[in-house]
Amino acid sequence: MSESPDAAKAMKLSTERKQLSNVLKMVAYQIEGSLVELLRPVYPRTEDEGRTMVQTALRGAATIEPIGKTLRITLAPLSSPHRSRAIAAVCDELNKKETDFPGTNLRLRFAVAEPPTS
């Protein structure tokens, strides 16, 4: 039984999709590593907890607000004040880079929200 031309095309698309997926994973890992390096000077346990803390911050809730010529991303506070302060320091370093959101003239501004008061 011979395979149809459509089957070969589907197999090629599947391979290309897998390659693209792998490239995106590698880029995400490199970005995560760069954020960990920004964390290193302000968080003594970066070697043990750095990647986990960055992942936690990125997976948490956030607000995105366009304000004038700024796109403000405010991350939810982490599980403890010292971790939130460390991620806020990373946000400050990112803000110094004065990066525009791709395809726009909106300047990215990162912050960590204040924890709710009881």
Is residue 26 a part of any domain in this protein?
yes
User: Can you give the pLDDT at residue 2?
Assistant: 55
Single-letter amino acid, residue 26 = M
Range of the domain at 100: 5-112
Is residue 117 a part of any domain in this protein?
no
pLDDT means per 10 residues, the chain with 118 residues, are 61 80 94 97 96 96 97 96 96 97 96 85
Is residue 54 a part of any domain in this protein?
yes
Helix (H) or strand (E) holding 56: helix 46-59
Is residue 118 a part of any domain in this protein?
no
The side-by-side arrangement of strands in the sheet containing 62-67 is 62-67, 70-75, 107-112
User: Can you give the pLDDT at residue 116?
Assistant: 78
Structural domains in the chain (count): 1
pTM value is 0.81
Is residue 99 a part of any domain in this protein?
yes
